[in-house]
Amino acid sequence: QVQLVESGGGLVQAGGSLRLSCAASGSIFSINAMNWYRQAPGEQRELVAGITSGGSTMYADSVKGRFTISRDNAKNTVYLEMNSLKPEDTAVYFCNVRGQTSPLRGFVSWGQGTQVTVSS
């Protein structure tokens, strides 16, 4: 099993910044993609940003230029630096990691979620 522990959420004023972290541990053979999703009340969960093992990144249009995803492969950790936060960024943010526990077995794990609240 692979466990994810998230940290870094909180309450911030519009225009402020937060940094989320997600550390993966357990039976990890390799990690491929590491992603951040978010879900606002009454809304579907949406992909915010992703990063591959090679360092390629993608972002939702709504966060491009404001959010930066990065990873530390040695620590099996992914980060989400969020700047110029807006009230519409308010949501529970979930870490998602996809990889292998062995050469023949893959895994998909989710973090417990961390609340980000941006006040106007």
Looking at the chain, the whole-number percentage of residues with pLDDT higher than 70 is: 100
The pLDDT value given to residue 21? 98
pLDDT tens digits along 70-97? 999 999 999 999 999 999 999 999 999 9
Mean pLDDT of 12-26: 98
Distances (CA, A) of 46 to 2, 26, 50, 89: 22, 26, 12, 12
pLDDT tens digits along 51-76? 999 999 999 999 999 999 999 999 99
Mean pLDDT of 5-30: 97
Tokens, residue 6: 């998230």
First to last CA, the chain: 40
